Amino acid sequence: MLRRISRRFSLRIFSSLALLGILPRKSALAQEKGEAEDSSGGERLDRWDRTRDRVFLGGDFWANPMEDWRLRDGWAECLVRSGKRSIHSLVRGLENVEGDFTLSVRLARPAGLTGKDGAGFQIGVRSDIDEVRSNCFAHNGITAGITGGHLVLGRERRALAAPFAEGECLLVLAGKAGAGERYDLTLTARTPAGDSLGVVKLAARKEFVRGNIALISQFQRPPRGREEGASWRFTDWRAGGEALVSRPEARFGPILWTMYSLSDSRGEEGFVMKLSALTGPLGAGDGEKVELFVEREGAWHSLGEAALDTDAWLATFRIPRWDEKTATTYKVVHRERLRDGSEVVDEWSGRIKANPDGRRLRIGALTCQNDYAFPYEPVAENLRKLDPDLLYFSGDQLYENHGGFGVIRAPADPAILNYLRKFYQHGWAFREVMRNAPTLCLPDDHDVFQGNYWGEGGKAMEVTEGDRGASSKGGYIQPVKMVNVVHRTNTSHHPDIHDPTAIEQGMSVYYGEVVYGSVGFAIVGDRQWKSGPERVEADGPRADHIVGKDFDTTSLDREGLVLLGERQEKFLEAWADDWRGHGMKVLLSQTLFANVATHHGKYDGYLKADLDSGGWPQTARNRAVSILRKSGALHINGDQHLTTLVQYGVDEQRDSNWSFCTPAIAVGYPRWWRPDELGMPHENRPGHGLADTGEYLDGLGNRVYVHAVGNPIVPVSKHRYEKAHEKGSGFGVVTIDLEAKTYHLEAFRFLVDATDGKAESQFPGWPLTIHQDENRGQNRIGVGEA
């Protein structure tokens, strides 16, 4: 049993450190008197001693990774012996390097660790943009910690006065500004009996001290793998001094963010508002409900409580007969019950927009967030400026590499925590715009930890020891319990599902419709029923890639292959004929129904066809487009990491709907459409004369009219935002004019001001305005052009 450090021992230690000049004298006196400490003397950052056992460490912290930490008996305990697990303070950071600071923490070392295993502080953790959220994922800083035999402070090491094989100690790091660029650091450690374990000093440079402060477990090991086993524990983390800044606005939780929708039921319920509030994974007895309030006539009125889903960690409200004509301020409230009986209230507020009836409807359209560019501030800031009426995220709110530390395939419960931690970066980046705008959010392949996926109606993927990959097989590799959590976290706030009947394995579905701003939106999962590529024979090392230029891709179009599936096709047929409450339509899905990419992964990475695209299976694709044609809907999608404006053809070129595949928020895996250099035949190039545009047969033989494409360059920049810009990242905006019956389409680059009106702020070929009738092949654009 690890011994506890008594309050008397803590006071004695702090008094001794004050006498030695390591801590300010005022701090020690405040400790003795039981007074709250000021910022110069060591304010306690955590309240873990009063918090119930749980996963979520609190809104003042970010845990790397969340699933490897627990609060137990008042301690933050690391569950693994793998390296570089850390806890960042979000609300305190080192900024004023002309001032002094002190950090202290009680830590406990279990038996069984090697002598080299260490824990302590990390300071000066800073990304290339030096922003608190991105700093949490930086791999730098000065380490100040203890191992079984040494104190370690940056490059300095000192042997301990006695071995530290197990038990507790108090670790204190003090910093003092020196002359010029010098910054003096002193690390001390003492036992529970008050005996010194050692002191080590370092003359650092001020520039390397500034940044996030963190606790770190196993700082000497690499962050690879996940070796479960008893590891370091921390409690009573304190910080003070003029070098530290307070940033309470950076708190993230317990309420993390909200997403809501507003839709006309066209029935007795009128407009229905649905809202989900997401929290971190809490504990039993913490507070199992969230309450929703709205502001009316200057006072808050409760609309009731909703229970937290303790797998997905969200509470969802459904409010019928909503007053859609009035913008309404709301807040969600969570009341956390602490061990001592006290209560901590957390609130998150926003605004439910009025239904934008009688004016143009503006949509912010986004996809694919690779976290090398996290937190995507240029995109988020542009969305705040533009203030769209609706936000649409078409998928890949995360990638498997998000935040590092790999993926957990099974069992389901740790896999869910692994997913949630990665998904939380989506909310962390965009919560300021989602709080004030209706948001539609679809899951895609990377959201369920697959590089590509062909859902096969919900079946489990057949994985063998010889081939454990998840990118070229039909079915789902993750446990269905986790997949359903992915669906709920993305779509619980959407209007009611058209037909919620579960598919194979009890897997949930999410297709349905929204009527908002007199526009009808259909939502489909265009991969959930899709046939797997192993049903056909490709010519390359992967079942989904066609590499030979002369390969006959018509051989891939076999009878019985599925794209949308029968249920979603019937839904779209009915939706195309139903015009109640709206005068224009939009289809929302993950990817476009064409194969508009010739090069993948690297500049010379030619592929004739990619079966992950919505251009395969061809017969099923043509059937889907034919169903869609009579609706006159614009198809908004993403996934491809390559923005395009394409008009589909089935029986002849340009006889069907337009597709806007939006730019990725942050392109990871790059793609290009470069048919001209390959000698692919084309006709009827648009009047703008841009290369690689006009009427083509794509690599699968589908008819496509490519009006514009946003090909990237090979990136040369290391700065995250410049790199994203070079790789063709950005976002889309669609403005729907119901009076003129038009869709105005814009594709903005990543690192621009979307309000400056400059042509170079958009990709070549944008903006473009199309008429509703052009989605039925009654074309105006390009007609009569040379």
pLDDT band, residue 782 (cuts 50/70/90)? confident
pLDDT band, residue 257 (cuts 50/70/90)? very high
- Using CA atoms, how far residue 153 sits from 160, 199, 210, 253, 434, in Å, is 13, 10, 16, 32, 42
Peptide bond into 65 cis (omega under 30): yes
Q: What is the pLDDT of residue 33?
A: 31
pLDDT tens digit sequence for 312-359 = 999 999 999 999 999 999 999 999 999 999 999 999 999 999 999 999
pLDDT band, residue 785 (cuts 50/70/90)? low
Phi, psi (rounded to 5 degrees) for 98? -90, -5
Token pair for 537: 């024979």
pLDDT tens digit sequence for 280-312 = 999 999 999 999 999 999 999 999 999 999 999
Contact (CB, 8 A) for 453 and 441: no
pLDDT tens digit sequence for 496-547 = 999 999 999 999 999 999 999 999 999 999 999 999 999 999 998 899 999 9
Q: What is the pLDDT of residue 2?
A: 35
Q: What is the pLDDT of residue 783?
A: 76
Q: What is the pLDDT of residue 466?
A: 58
Contact (CB, 8 A) for 423 and 256: no
pLDDT tens digit sequence for 595-654 = 999 999 999 999 999 999 999 999 999 999 999 999 999 999 999 999 999 999 999 999
The whole-angstrom separation of Cα 721 and Cα 716 is 12
Q: What is the pLDDT of residue 611?
A: 97
Contacts of 138 (CB under 8 A, 6+ apart): 125, 126, 127, 211, 212
- At position 586, the amino acid (one-letter code) is V
pLDDT band, residue 41 (cuts 50/70/90)? very low
Mean pLDDT of 145-167: 95
Confidence check: pLDDT of 28 > 90:
no
pLDDT tens digit sequence for 388-447 = 999 999 999 999 999 999 999 999 999 999 999 999 999 999 999 999 999 999 999 999
Spell out the domains of the chain, with CATH numbers in brackets.
Answer: 7-250 (2.60.120.200), 255-352 (2.60.40.10), 361-776 (3.60.21.70)
Q: What is the pLDDT of residue 10?
A: 46
Q: What is the pLDDT of residue 412?
A: 98
Contact (CB, 8 A) for 425 and 403: yes
Q: What is the pLDDT of residue 98?
A: 97
Confidence check: pLDDT of 17 > 60:
no
Local structure of 351: helix, strand or coil: strand
Cβ–Cβ contacts within 10 Å for residue 654, how many? 20
Over the chain, what is the mean pLDDT?
93
CA neighbor of 588 nearest in space, from 494, 678, 501: 494
Q: What is the pLDDT of residue 465?
A: 65
pLDDT band, residue 222 (cuts 50/70/90)? confident
Q: What is the pLDDT of residue 540?
A: 84
The whole-angstrom separation of Cα 695 and Cα 709 is 13
The whole-angstrom separation of Cα 612 and Cα 451 is 10
Phi, psi (rounded to 5 degrees) for 89? -80, 125
Q: What is the pLDDT of residue 3?
A: 34
Q: What is the DSSP letter of 386?
A: H
The whole-angstrom separation of Cα 177 and Cα 184 is 6
pLDDT tens digit sequence for 697-751 = 999 999 999 999 999 999 999 999 999 999 999 999 999 999 999 999 999 999 9
Q: What is the pLDDT of residue 469?
A: 61
Least confident span in 26-40, 83-97, 204-218: 26-40
Torsion region of 396: left, alpha or beta (phi above 0 gives left; psi -120 to 50 gives alpha): left
Percent over 70 (pLDDT), the chain: 94
Cβ–Cβ contacts within 10 Å for residue 60, how many? 20
Among the residues of 661-740, which ranges form H helices? 675-678, 720-726
